[in-house]
Structure 1
Amino acid sequence: MSRPPDADRFAHFAAIDWSGAAGERHAGIAVALCSNGTSAPRLVRPGHRWSRQELLHWLSDDLPPDTIVGMDLGMSLPFADVGAFFPGWPDSPPDARALWAMIDALAADDAHLSVGSVVDHPVVSRYFRRHGGRLGDRFGTAPRGRFRLTELAQARHGCRPYSNFNLVGAAQVGKSSLTGMRVLHRLGRHLSVWPFDPLPATGSVVLEIYTTIAAMAAGRSPGASKMRDHAALNAALAQLGSAPVPGHGAIADHASDALLTAAWLRRAATDTALWQPEGLASVRETEGWTFGAR
């Protein structure tokens, strides 16, 4: 079992609000960073419209040393419920890293690290709910789709997670997750990815986050997790012991999600229980876990 880091092990804490939308550059991607202590988190390249390829380069080449990076996406698909990502398909990958490799290979010709070829693959598409009322015959019998153990843990504590096999609706996370898997595969072993890899003794680590968990830790309810003005954001940051971010008036919720979650990671990283949640051992290599889900 991976051990929690020492309180002073990490020097920086980054949160990435991700997007699986079509196109090259995305207003929905935001990156926030803070350091040890209580200083305010800050946006990385404020006002910039990130591409997924740029984020890959930032993680590979520009990440500050000893950083915990939280990415707001699902790093894998459900596996434990039926013993496979794609039950009944002989080519179903055996673990998460093999899944990432498969997704990236199927989408090799898709520009901007998108996943249209995965979504429309003649076999894989049968497991997804897609736009236009297209429900795959292997989506499952549950109305909301299949869930990972970590998503069931989220639900027990008041969150309303969505299945990564669901690609429909404003709150769906399926395409974000699939595009994120392409990035994770291309990172290779350049960065450790928890919990699929053990926590490294030195260097940085990438992990999965759910920004609603950070908002709840800051005193907000799941239904009011989005903060669209500086006053609400700074009130939440104060609950986490963080200095306020400068500014007044409106702020995009993608930016506020990233800023608040970076500050939450700084505090949560020293919580031993969050690195050793019940149920993790059985899905460490397949489904993974959302940091902060208990």
Structure 2
Amino acid sequence: MRNFTHFACIDWSGARTERPKGIAVAVIGPEGPPALIIPDPHWSRTDVLDWLLRIAETQQDMLIGFDLSMALPFFDQGGYFPEWDESPRDAKALWRHIDKIARDDHHLNVTSFLEHPQAHRHFRHGRGRIGDLFTGGTGRLRQVEHYQRETGQANSASCFNLVGAAQVGKSSLTGMRLLHRLDGAIPVWPFDLVPDHGPAIVEIYTTVAALAAGQPKGRSKVRDRAGLKQALTRLNTPIPARLARYDDHSTDALITAAWMKREAGNPALWNPSALTDEIAQKEGWTFGVV
């Protein structure tokens, strides 16, 4: 497995505002503690896209983790959107499809996509609106999400559920728009091969990193300096200078960047036994789930 010199974690957000407070970016290099990159006033999704394009231009050896799902479930029903003739056949076509329908939505939002009469049918929306093809319960899951639950490694939510504090659907769909806009400037594993040099992007789940850092299941969030110090100490990483605010977006990003640095050289994480070529192209995989 190749070596990376720098590691970044992007805690993402699907909020409709231009500059969601939920976006946090942390980077760690060969030496020292992880550090937050803090723009003024807050990150926008297009800011993150521009930052990634600059990383691509400089070809920095950086592994970049995004806390979102990079595709929707496919294998459970033989397609992303059953009964929709235009349902894409693989993840990159899915990214393109979402971005095309939502192309007039500002800030990489996905309102137009979710209001599309065919897409709308598959999601659980707010205010009691439930699409007639939403499966109920937890909603549909990808193969990696079923595997996480079966092996006790994580408890991911369905991207088709757009309701509640734990919903990840909107953040994942906006992230898919960003991945399409990158247009291959940075390879995205496992859809693309890991390059011999330069940056690469992976899907991460910050809870996996938090558990590796000693956080208890069900209480993985860190919201103070003492908790951050304890987690980073477990990862053999120095603690950064005092933060202005210890929100869980910032601490998730810092802890996960440190975890990525520690674990990225582990070949098992790049070769999960349950990951097939077809799963890789249609649903992707969460880095760190083995």
TM-score (structure 2 length as normaliser): 0.95
Residue 194 of structure 1 corresponds to: 189
Distance 1:123 1:80 in 2: 19
**Which residue matches 2:148?**
154
The verdict on how the C-alpha distance between 1:46 and 1:186 changes in structure 2, with shifts beyond 3 A counting, is closer
Separation in structure 2 between the aligned mates of residue 160 and residue 283 of structure 1, nearest angstrom: 19
Note if contact 2:153-2:289 (Cα within 8 Å) is conserved in structure 1: no
The code of the aligned residue for 2:9 comes to A
Extract unaligned runs of 5+ from structure 2. none
Q: Secondary structure at the match of 1:50?
A: coil
Q: Secondary structure of 1:70's match?
A: strand
Shift of 1:279: 2.0
Q: 1:252 aligns with which of 247, 252, 257?
A: 247
Q: 2:201 aligns with which of 190, 206, 218?
A: 206
SS in structure 2 of the partner of residue 129 of structure 1? coil
Partner of 1:51: 44
Letter in 1 for 2:129: R
User: How much has 1:250 moved relative to structure 2?
Assistant: 5.2
Is 1:41 the counterpart of 2:34? The answer is yes
Aligned residue number for residue 183 of structure 1: 178
1:286 has 2:282 as partner? yes
**Which of the residues 61, 73, 81 maps onto 2:54?**
61
8 A Cα contact 2:153 2:208, kept in partner: no
Q: Report the Cα offset of residue 46 of structure 1.
A: 5.9
1:119 to partner: Cα distance:
1.0
Divergent runs of 4+, >4 A? none
Q: Does 1:269 align with 2:269?
A: no
Give the CA RMSD over aligned residues. Answer: 1.5
CA distance in 2, matches of 1:56, 1:82: 32
Structure 2 residue aligned with 1:28: 22
Q: For 1:102-113, list aligned pairs within 5 A.
A: 102-113=97-108
C-alpha separation between the residues in 2 aligned to 1:81 and 1:97?
A: 19
- Aligned match of 1:130: 125
Q: State the number of aligned residues.
A: 286
> Does the Cα contact within 8 Å between 1:231 and 1:248 map onto a contact in 2?
no
Q: Distance in 1 between matches of 2:217 and 2:147?
A: 14
1:230 CA displacement: 1.0
**Amino-acid identity (%):** 50
Find the residue that maps to 1:284 and give its secondary structure: helix
SS where residue 27 of structure 2 aligns? Answer: strand
Q: Which of 42, 58, 77 is matched with 1:82 structurally? A: 77
Q: For structure 1, which runs of at least 5 residues remain unmatched after alignment?
A: none
Partner Cα distance (1:135, 1:159) in 2: 26
Specify the code of the residue in structure 1 equivalent to 2:232: L
User: Contact 1:94 / 1:286 at 8 angstroms: preserved in 2?
Assistant: yes
1:31 touches 1:44 (CA, 8 Å); kept in 2?
yes
Deviation at 1:278, TM superposition (A): 2.1
The change in CA–CA distance for 1:240 and 1:121 in structure 2 (over 3 A counts) is: same
The 1:43–1:250 alpha-carbon spacing in structure 2 relative to 1, beyond 3 Å, is closer
Distance 1:80 1:40 in 2: 41
- What is the rounded CA distance, in whole Å, between the counterparts of 2:153 and 2:48 in structure 1? 31
**1:219-230 → structure 2 map (5 Å cutoff):** 219-230=214-225
Counterpart amino acid of 1:138?
A: L
